[in-house]
Amino acid sequence: MENQIFQGCGRPLTGRIDKKYCNDQCRATYHNQSKRKHERMIRAVNQQLRKNRTILKTFCPDGKATVRKSRLLEHGFSFQYFSSIYQSHQLTYYFSYEYGFAPIVETSKSDGQPVQKVLIIQSQEHMKGVFDPWAA
């Protein structure tokens, strides 16, 4: 029992053998630290989703817009995270809450080279709750 310490504050253990925390603050500190480890990834993903939504909203004030992929990347957009998917007949839209994007490729009018663009839309009522990952 000599080398045992409280889990929250690291002070030497005193009192009952099964005691883990010296007081409520010690217990709360321990649980908050362990919770932070588990939720760090969740917070980072949610933060990126909110940032993506803000960027899409900025480029799409009227409900629909087409923007070069590079413009979104310049503003810190991450194509890795999205909150939902909508499959239309022609395109797959990836949503950050109520704003979505579909990757498209257009041919440059100046040099005929392919240009990666993003079609941005605002969610419509008919798009809600439609995606089924097991549908063929």
Task: Compute the C-alpha angle 124/94/38, nearest 5°.
Answer: 115
Over residues 79-103, the mean pLDDT reads: 94
Reported as a pLDDT band with limits 50, 70 and 90, residue 128 is confident
Is the residue at 7 inside a domain?
no
Count: domains in the chain: 1
Q: Tell whether the model's pLDDT for residue 2 goes beyond 70.
A: no
The 8-class DSSP code of residue 11 comes to P
Is the residue at 16 inside a domain?
no
Is the residue at 45 inside a domain?
yes
Is the residue at 75 inside a domain?
yes
CB-based contact 44:36 (threshold 8 Å): no
Is the residue at 5 inside a domain?
no
Q: Tell whether the model's pLDDT for residue 6 goes beyond 50.
A: yes
Please name the residue that has the structure tokens 């217990």.
27
Is the residue at 67 inside a domain?
yes
Is the residue at 133 inside a domain?
no
CB-based contact 98:122 (threshold 8 Å): yes
The 8-class DSSP code of residue 12 comes to B
**Where in the sequence is the domain holding 116, given as residue range(s)?**
24-127
Helical H segments across 60-132, by residue range: 69-74
At 14-23, the pLDDT tens digits run 777 777 777 8
Q: What would the two tokens of residue 62 be?
A: 């009227």
Q: What percent of the chain has pLDDT over 70?
A: 90
Q: What percent of the chain has pLDDT over 90?
A: 52
Q: What would the two tokens of residue 104 be?
A: 């498209």
* The predicted structure's pLDDT at residue 3: 64
Backbone angles phi, psi at 125, to 5 degrees: -60, -40
